[in-house]
Amino acid sequence: MDNSIKDNYREKPIVCSGIRELRVLKTTKSAFKGFVDDEYRTLPYSDDRIFSSVVTANWWYSYFEGVDFNDTWDKVKGAVLEGFAGPADKGVFSANVENTLYMTAKLILSRVPQIHQMEINFPNKHYFEIDYTKFPKISFEGCFNRVYTALDNPSGNIRAVVKRSNMSKL
């Protein structure tokens, strides 16, 4: 066998785990503002909007000897939910999807030392309020006074890869 091929067999295996299509929804404490306002932007600025996504996350381990993979998966899922929504009793404000995604990745890396790199995808799933003022015969008495509908677009696919920095060896 060629020596270069033998060397490939001596490398450490790469272990990657992930979460697929975790649907999340936040009905308050989410904003969209401060972005470039040009002819291509279609979303209106908002101080409080519905924030929804279908999260996909992958992570790579720097080591895996002695790692409880089920526990790690639970910790990552918990950190995704906490980073997205915050504690159930008070929530957490989301300035925008990009910031929430980045802060979630940092939270995961801070809680799970075995993870070397995170890749997270938060595609926007927009909900907009339906304007019923043009239909005066529709009454919401005894009901909620707002109705929202999910839209396919405009949308964005917010994705980030966050890695641990290498520590210097002094």
pLDDT tens digits for range 82-130: 999 988 888 888 888 888 999 999 999 999 999 999 999 998 887 877 7
| DSSP conformation letters of 60-90 | EES--TT--HHHHHHHHHHHHHHHHH--TTT
Class of domain 3-35+43-163: alpha beta
Q: What is the pLDDT of residue 148?
A: 79
State the pLDDT at residue 126: 79
User: Residue ranges of the chain with pLDDT lower than 70?
Assistant: 1-10, 139-145, 153-154, 167-170
Nearest CA to 120 out of 86, 88, 79, 154 is that of: 79
Looking at residue 55, its pLDDT comes to 94
Domain ranges of the chain: 3-35+43-163
pLDDT for residue 154: 56
pTM: 0.78
